[in-house]
Amino acid sequence: MTTLNNRINLVDALRGFALLGIVLLHHVEHFDIANFVESSYPLLTAIDKFLWNTVFFIFGGKMYAIFALTFGFSFYIQLENHKRRGENFAGRFFWRMCLLFMFGFLHVMFYSGEILSVYALAGMLIIPLRNLNTKTLTVLMIIFMLEPWELVQLGIGLFNNEYIPSSYPRIFYFNAVEAATTGTFWDMVTTNLTSGMVNSHIFAWRSGRYFQTLSLFLLGIITGRGGLFAEAEKRNRCWKKVWCISIICFIPLYILKVCPAIAELRPGISTPLSVMLSMWSNLSFATFLVSSFVLLWVKTKRWNIEFGRLIPYGRMSLSNYICSSIFGSFIYYHWGLGLNTTSGALVSLLTGMAIFTIQLFFSKWWLTHHRRGPLEWVWNKLMWIKLK
């Protein structure tokens, strides 16, 4: 029987699944360069377009949401374990988030679209909320999930015909892409540490990802308190309801998201509304993926075994996430092989699968000899360091 003191294999596998989707998406988009390579063969171009659209439809924005959910759940597990031992984990967790922010600096040197520093800041914000009752946490989760900043802008736009939301300053993104496609290794590192890091946080704010991340962190805590993962078999009926509701919500939200009439509205309405519809449709589809994953895990022995193969990959998520960006940077950026100009979606997807497979086997081998992944070990050691 699973207890709080043991790792929950289901969550590790789910985290591995989310990271797999993130890695494949990054390879198809060439790690934020986001250029589509036209082939001289019409059939290959058609396949590439299909794969591009399919990968973005299934993984785009959804895998980060699942990753954030598992992050919040992990915070709950750590908090409860220390609470049972009579220890206050808040200070250590704050330091843990500071360390995660530092890992974000390491990550952004190779990939300007990094998310670790965003998670670190959001993680710090949920520390004061850790002891609130579940009902209050649920209310806050819903408020964050509704994208309050976009709601404010939408309200202003509805009553002020002249209101135009400030434009997204894409200069930071363009600087990072230019360094990736034309610069040396040092150009990439220095540009990403400045423009790249700024762009990652601006994008997280302007796309609604900050509030969504906060809501999913809280949802992770709520699912932990409710035993939805630790006792997934007993909560089977609940997961079926979640699966049905997610489908019911996703279909109309996605139709509205792609509806041309939304884009034709004046900017004061269309801009915040597009952000909200995008976040809500991604969240509902991510919920569908999570509930499907859990139901297959608890009900189908074959899928339980197949998904179980992702456990080592999920347990070493920090190491695998950062290393996948280093590999991808070398493969597609100018300082390395520079294959972003020649690799179509099919080739890039196969390359991503190859990198994932190598990392999966390495993770399995490493964890047979060590308790934690390489960067996870560093993270844990630094978190518990004692200054004399």
pLDDT, one tens digit per residue, over 79-96 is 888 888 877 788 888 999
How many CB atoms lie under 10 A from the CB of residue 287? 22
The tokens describing 146, both together, are: 């509704």
Q: Which residues contact 300 (CB under 8 A, 6 or more apart)?
A: none
Which of 3-7, 258-262, 315-319 comes out lowest in average pLDDT?
Answer: 3-7
pLDDT the model gives residue 80: 84
pLDDT in tens, 26-67: 999 999 999 999 888 899 999 999 999 999 999 999 999 999
pLDDT in tens, 135-193: 999 999 999 999 999 999 999 999 998 898 888 788 999 999 999 999 999 999 999 99
Residue 2 has pLDDT above 50, yes or no: no
Contact 303, 310 (CB under 8 A): no
Which of 159-168, 201-210, 333-342 comes out lowest in average pLDDT?
Answer: 159-168
| Distance (Å, whole) CA 63 – CA 57 | 11
